[in-house]
Amino acid sequence: EGRRAQAHIHVSTKGNDAWSGARARARGADGPFATLERARAEVRKRKAAGTVPAGGLIVELAAGQFELSEPFALTAEDSGTAGAPIIYRASPGEEVRLIGGREITNFREVADPAIVSRLDEAARGKVRVADLKEMGIADLGSVLGNGNRMELFFQDTPMTMARWPNEGFTRIVEVVGGAPHKIHGIPGDKIGRFTYKGDRPKRWLKEPEVWLHGYWFWDWSDQRQRIESIDTEKRVITLEPPYHGYGYRRNQWYYAQNLLAELDIPGEWYLDKANAKLYFWPPAPLTEGKAIVSVLPSILTTKAASHVTFRGFTVEAARGTAVVIGGGTGMRVVGCTIRNTGGSAVSVSGVENGVIGCDVYGTGRGGIHLSGGDRKTLTPAKLLAENNHVHHYARWQRVYQPGITVHGCGNRVARNLIDNAPHMGMGFGGNNHVIELNELHSVCYESNDAGAMYTGRDWAQRGTVIRNNYLHHINGFEGRGCVGVYLDDQFSGTEISGNLFYKVTRAAMVGGGRDCTIENNIFVDCVPAAHVDSRGLGWASRGFGGLKGKLEKMPYKSAPWSTQYPSLVNILDDEPMAPKGNVIARNICVGGKWGSFGAKAKPLVTFTDNLLDEDPLFVDADGLDFRLRKDSPAWKLGFKPIPVDRIGVYKDPSRASWPVVSTVRPMVQRPVAPAHSRKQAVVYKAPRATVAPVIDGVLKAGEWGSKVMSVAQGLRGEKVSPPSRAWLLRDDKALYIAIDNAINPKFPIQPGNTWGQDDAVEIAVRNPSAGATAPILVLRGFPSGHFESSDETAAPAKLVKRAAEGVQYKARQVNDKSWVTEWRIPFASLGITPAKYPKVQFNISVRKTADNQWVEWQGTGGNTWKVENAGVLEFAK
């Protein structure tokens, strides 16, 4: 702006569309226009007359609140050119608000006795009611309607639809639908009927439309469902079909909303659609703010327009996505504050369009969405999201609504700050994107098995580079863990390089994919830092058909695909579901845990020059300055500097605000089992065998003696049922273990060989004589007769291999109520000499999928193999 001659068209809330628009302020019978539509008509007029200056046109809006009657829409005829763009902007230094809603000015006290009786006692006399018909608002939308859901905002903040509980969730007690099923061995019910605690739902019986928002089966899949009926005697809630796709399971969380009876704290509201009445308990006097309801689906929309910029506006109160840039080239949304929308903030397609320097928050769904480029020809769109702060989004649709999403081919997401979101920070798909110099923190706080940066399920969507980003303070719902960069279910061909991860669970994850690089990253206090598994060779093998179908839609055997992705050409002839071609090189790991590498995946990974057991010599780790000193040993390994001073948002005339304030959300730590606080570990003494048991999977009377270990604790040390029973014996050469596992006969045993997904037993042991850092050895056995030595504890590979040597293992399902396992484990395999060291840290754990239980001898509060939180096994003389 300003380099070449430009003309100004002025708009003001004090203007008049009959005036010329040539003046910023009224003078006599002339002055600014009153509406954007009139300014648009003037732009078209000047273009038609050929009177647009060489530098383009500036449509400048004076300070004020513009309540739009319809979305402001531009088409190809409203375009500028690269040299003479059309710029719609707020007058510099002034607040211009483009509002897709209506201010509500007719609130009054609630006088209807029938309504007062339904209100909570605390709310009576404090709730106000407005008649929306009086305000001329006819379209009240729907509770669930994306793009057509009315919301209320006060003092520029989203208010809360009346709900219970007011914060957080309540939980399903039991599912009682009568249609039991399992997913990955976890039991649930297909029908939405479950029991609840307490009597709160008695208050809801007169409510016409009660909705429950829940995470009904998985921590990463939420849905709102309407209540069909409530049985207050049996404390049973029945939901209306269609039911949630994954079903329902016990202990999952939900809350109720859209209830006048629960309008019980300041800031809550309720819409009586039948009578067009809006009820509201304002958190401050109504004279101290404006109450606005959303009306329009969008506020700014373009279709095939080019070289137009929207700059410096506050855009708010749309029911759907506030700004939609549909196609064209050279389109810009710059320095705007986009907030309080029912949908996302900005959607951008086309070529070389961008969102720059914006503040985005309070959206009902995601933030900025970029989608452009031709994947089949690998032609980049060069869309851009840069220097934006996206935070406190996904208010309504909580999962899979990233702060920034990028799809298509050849787009860039750089120097953004994304924080405070219930699920994903960033989502991506497609080819050849660059995601760099971004900061993400405090995301995924309401979900697990979620990624701060996420993508999945495609061999062909490759070529994306994720470099020089800073991810920190990310550990999932209730501290139970999520993922930093999550390449899910065979996603392949991605570079993760030069990133800094601090306090991120499972920081960089390759979920069965191929040809990925994890290189030159710094991991601090991550558990684990890197993960690669071979799911495609196990439970995820069923995804082959879908992956193959996506691949074959692309011309992957011909140029430019064959030259850019040569390893893809013959993938179908090269064990396509195996995690081949992954490289993990020149990374630094401090604190936490280095790796979680599947037994079948690890031999296929190339590990090179990772600094794991040596101080990297940070400049100031306590001050979170993780730059490397000049004498760091990492330089000799070829480590390259990470440009930490360039990560995140920066001061620039295009920024909507400065300085940028971003608060790190406190990290919730997973509760520790009460058993951890016991002053003395429980000791179990294994008797000496008079005759060595026969390892045949058959428990014979008298063979194992009379001493029984009860395996009946949950993860936190609580008593669980049904329990398992174990017998332990020893001789001079080996430890003998038999375990009888009672199971729920309602569900069949999961017979596979995947820990966590299938029924199994686990034996974990560590010899304290080897020192405080002695490795934990883990053996796992399955009903199929398969057993394995696991490297999950990061024990050295040679010790993991040795632990399985000479082991005898048998398993047998007795009936639909029990299965049995027997072991003979040589002491030499465990590196134990009982005569010299008669006590070891020890635990037995059983995975029971029928009731989704982890049953332990001693509850550890976390990983079942954490023997330091379990007990001690003593070998009798």
What average pLDDT score do residues 34-44 get? 98
Chain-centre distance for alpha carbon 225: 21
- For residue 228, what are the β-bridge partners? none
Quote the pLDDT of residue 675.
Answer: 43
Domain assignment present for residue 150? The answer is yes
Do 700 and 800 lie in one domain? The reply is: yes
Do 338 and 322 touch, CB atoms closer than 8 A? yes
Quote the pLDDT of residue 816.
Answer: 84
What average pLDDT score do residues 541-553 get? 96
Of 147, 137, 139, 143, nearest to 207 (Cα)? 143
Do 158 and 185 lie in one domain? The reply is: no
Which of 250, 274, 292 is a domain's end point? 292
Question: How far is the C-alpha of 826 from the C-alpha of 832, rounded, in Å?
Answer: 9
Question: How far is the C-alpha of 875 from the C-alpha of 808, rounded, in Å?
Answer: 20
Question: How far is the C-alpha of 329 from the C-alpha of 833, rounded, in Å?
Answer: 74
Indicate the average pLDDT of the chain.
94
Do 241 and 268 lie in one domain? The reply is: no
Return the DSSP state at 366.
Answer: -
Question: How far is the C-alpha of 241 from the C-alpha of 245, rounded, in Å?
Answer: 11
Do 773 and 739 lie in one domain? The reply is: yes
Do 732 and 804 lie in one domain? The reply is: yes
Structural domain range at position 789: 674-875
Query: What is the tens place of the pLDDT at every residue in 396-435?
Result: 999 999 999 999 999 999 999 999 999 999 999 999 999 9
Domain assignment present for residue 301? The answer is no
Q: Which two tokens stand for residue 551?
A: 């691949």
CATH of the domain at 695: 2.60.40.1190
Domain assignment present for residue 812? The answer is yes
Quote the pLDDT of residue 772.
Answer: 64
Question: How far is the C-alpha of 140 from the C-alpha of 130, rounded, in Å?
Answer: 13
What average pLDDT score do residues 260-273 get? 98
Query: What is the tens place of the pLDDT at every residue in 121-132?
Result: 999 999 999 999
Quote the pLDDT of residue 539.
Answer: 83
The larger pLDDT score, comparing residue 853 to residue 546, is at 546
Question: How far is the C-alpha of 76 from the C-alpha of 187, rounded, in Å?
Answer: 55
Is residue 680 over pLDDT 90?
Answer: no
CA torsion through residues 551, 554, 558, 563, sign = negative
Query: What is the tens place of the pLDDT at every residue in 444-475?
Result: 999 888 999 999 999 999 999 999 999 999 99
Do 721 and 776 lie in one domain? The reply is: yes
Which of 208, 232, 258 is a domain's end point? 258
Do 687 and 792 lie in one domain? The reply is: yes
Do 763 and 871 lie in one domain? The reply is: yes
Domain assignment present for residue 702? The answer is yes
Question: How far is the C-alpha of 355 from the C-alpha of 332, rounded, in Å?
Answer: 6
Q: Which two tokens stand for residue 808?
A: 């005898």
Is residue 1 over pLDDT 70?
Answer: no
Query: What is the tens place of the pLDDT at every residue in 630-679?
Result: 999 999 999 999 999 999 999 999 999 999 999 999 988 765 544 444 45
Of 320, 334, 392, nearest to 361 (Cα)? 392
User: 337-339 and 314-316: which strand pairing?
Assistant: parallel
Domain assignment present for residue 864? The answer is yes
CATH of the domain at 239: 2.40.30
Do 839 and 776 lie in one domain? The reply is: yes
Do 826 and 809 lie in one domain? The reply is: yes
Do 782 and 725 lie in one domain? The reply is: yes
Q: What is the count of structural domains for the chain?
A: 3
Question: How far is the C-alpha of 623 from the C-alpha of 790, rounded, in Å?
Answer: 37
Do 281 and 247 lie in one domain? The reply is: no
Domain assignment present for residue 815? The answer is yes
The larger pLDDT score, comparing residue 672 to residue 578, is at 578
Question: How far is the C-alpha of 647 from the C-alpha of 452, rounded, in Å?
Answer: 16
Alpha helices in 50-198 (DSSP H): 113-118
Is residue 692 over pLDDT 90?
Answer: yes
Query: What is the tens place of the pLDDT at every residue in 479-498?
Result: 888 999 999 999 999 999 99
Domain assignment present for residue 473? The answer is no
Quote the pLDDT of residue 676.
Answer: 44
